[in-house]
């Protein structure tokens, strides 16, 4: 039987996650590949196309069985991005309708399953998206606000603070970890490396700094004042975005969730929950995500091909090990 399927793509962070589902919400396969944003990986198009093919192979589905594809892509901010975004899914023989949004949209769809709320995405990238009671989507970048809480920004800030000498005795473990990470033996070598620009190629440099972020969040949890100051500043910027978007909700109580490696690191998650309790515009309530962003993309794909996604289908999806965060 030629079963029809849809493809959901979560192209956020440093990986592309592709999920194939039948029209009853049964997840047929889940595949992971390299980054989908050309701003982070020059091989983005190859990464996504290979992951799509892999997911269909795992699901034992042919290209003509796919009746819809819904993709959330990091870095897709405006119509000017549409050319490179559409080429990501340009798989020969895949002729189904395709829909593209920013990756925060599929993250919200999975986290809240159609209900209003605010999703803070903070990992490889940073984005804050609200969908109000009127189903109006609003992003912090609509206001030209950017919360510099992405992994690489924490690492850049920490290194700059170290170079500036803003170090206490209790930061020594962090400093040694940073020096080891950059393969230098002392502060003088770190200064020389920094003065040379660390690394010449910007994408490689940003990835290197992004991969360093766990050193900062772990040090913050261990009590490093420098690391805590860096993380606290990032959280302040996140909360500015949350408060801006929160003011557009009618209810006094607004659900908020966090997605990504930075905001879900132990120290940042604790600070996030603390900050939400002291909201100014609204009373914010932290809510764990219902489903993953890839699951959210599947939900949107099913809806766009005319399938009514009900509670029974959501339960079918939950059974898959990669449907939840």
Residues 160, 207: one domain?
yes
Exposed (0-12), middle (13-18) or buried (19+): which is 276, by Cβ within 10 Å? buried
Residue 324 resides in a domain: no
Residue 325 resides in a domain: no
Residue 64 resides in a domain: yes
Residues 278, 300: one domain?
no
Give residue 300's domain range.
5-112+291-319
Residues 143, 274: one domain?
yes
Residue 50 pLDDT > 80, yes or no? yes
Tell me the per-residue pLDDT of 151-205, one tens digit each, with 9 for 90 and over. 999 999 999 999 999 999 999 999 999 999 999 999 999 999 999 999 999 889 9
Q: Show the tokens assigned to 147.
A: 């919360």
pLDDT category of residue 322 using cuts at 50, 70 and 90: confident
Residues 252, 239: one domain?
yes
Task: Find the mean pLDDT for residues 18-36.
Answer: 94
The domain tally of the chain equals 2
Residues 123, 267: one domain?
yes
Residue 169: other Cβ atoms inside 10 A: 6
pLDDT category of residue 23 using cuts at 50, 70 and 90: very high
Q: Give the CATH number for residue 183.
A: 3.30.420.40
Residues 132, 44: one domain?
no
**Which value, in Å, is the radius of gyration of the alpha carbons in the chain?**
21
Residue 77 pLDDT > 90, yes or no? no
Q: What does 11-49 look like in DSSP terms, one character per residue?
A: E-TTEEEEEEEETTS-EEEEEEEE---TTT-TTHHHHHH
Residues 303, 240: one domain?
no
Residues 216, 105: one domain?
no
Residue 73 resides in a domain: yes
Residue 138 resides in a domain: yes
pLDDT at 1: 39
pLDDT category of residue 94 using cuts at 50, 70 and 90: very high
- Which of 141, 143, 149 has the alpha carbon at shortest distance from 236? 149
Mapped to the 3 state alphabet, what secondary structure does 150-188 carry?
CHHHHHHHHHHHHHCCCCCHHHHHHHHHHHHHCCCCCHH
Residues 147, 79: one domain?
no
Residue 314 resides in a domain: yes
Residues 8 and 19: beta-carbon distance below 8 Å: yes
Looking at the chain, the whole-number percentage of residues with pLDDT higher than 70 is 99
Tell me the per-residue pLDDT of 207-238, one tens digit each, with 9 for 90 and over. 999 999 999 999 999 999 999 999 999 999 99
């Amino acid at each position: 039987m030629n079963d029809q399927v849809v493809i959901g793509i979560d192209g956020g962070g440093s990986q592309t996650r592709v999920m194939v589902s039948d029209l009853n919400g049964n997840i047929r396969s889940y595949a992971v590949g390299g980054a989908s944003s050309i701003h982070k990986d020059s091989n983005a198009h190859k990464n996504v196309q290979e992951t799509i093919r892999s997911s269909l192979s795992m699901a034992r589905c042919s290209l003509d069985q796919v009746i819809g594809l819904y993709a959330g892509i990091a870095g897709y901010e405006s119509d000017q991005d549409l050319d490179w975004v559409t080429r990501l899914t340009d798989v020969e023989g895949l002729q189904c309708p395709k829909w593209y949004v920013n990756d925060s949209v599929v993250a919200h769809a999975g986290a809240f399953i159609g209900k209003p709320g605010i999703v803070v995405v903070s990992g490889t990238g940073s984005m804050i998206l609200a969908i109000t009671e009127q189903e109006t989507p609003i992003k912090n970048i609509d206001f030209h606000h950017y919360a510099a809480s992405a992994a690489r920004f924490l690492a850049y800030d920490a290194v700059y603070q170290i170079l500036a000498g803003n170090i206490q005795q209790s930061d020594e473990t962090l400093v040694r970890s940073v020096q080891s990470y950059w393969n230098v033996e002392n502060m003088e070598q770190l200064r020389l490396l920094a003065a040379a620009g660390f690394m010449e190629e910007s994408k490689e440099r940003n990835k290197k700094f992004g991969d360093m972020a766990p050193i900062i969040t772990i040090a913050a949890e261990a009590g490093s004042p420098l690391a805590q100051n860096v993380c606290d500043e990032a959280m302040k910027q996140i909360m500015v975005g949350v408060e801006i978007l929160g003011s557009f909700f009618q209810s006094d109580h607004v659900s908020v969730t966090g997605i990504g490696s930075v905001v879900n690191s132990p120290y940042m998650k604790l600070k996030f929950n603390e900050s939400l309790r002291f909201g100014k515009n609204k009373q914010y309530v932290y809510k764990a995500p219902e489903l993953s962003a890839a699951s959210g993309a599947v939900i949107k794909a099913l809806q766009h091909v005319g399938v009514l996604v009900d509670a029974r289908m959501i339960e079918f999806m939950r059974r898959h090990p990669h449907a939840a965060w």
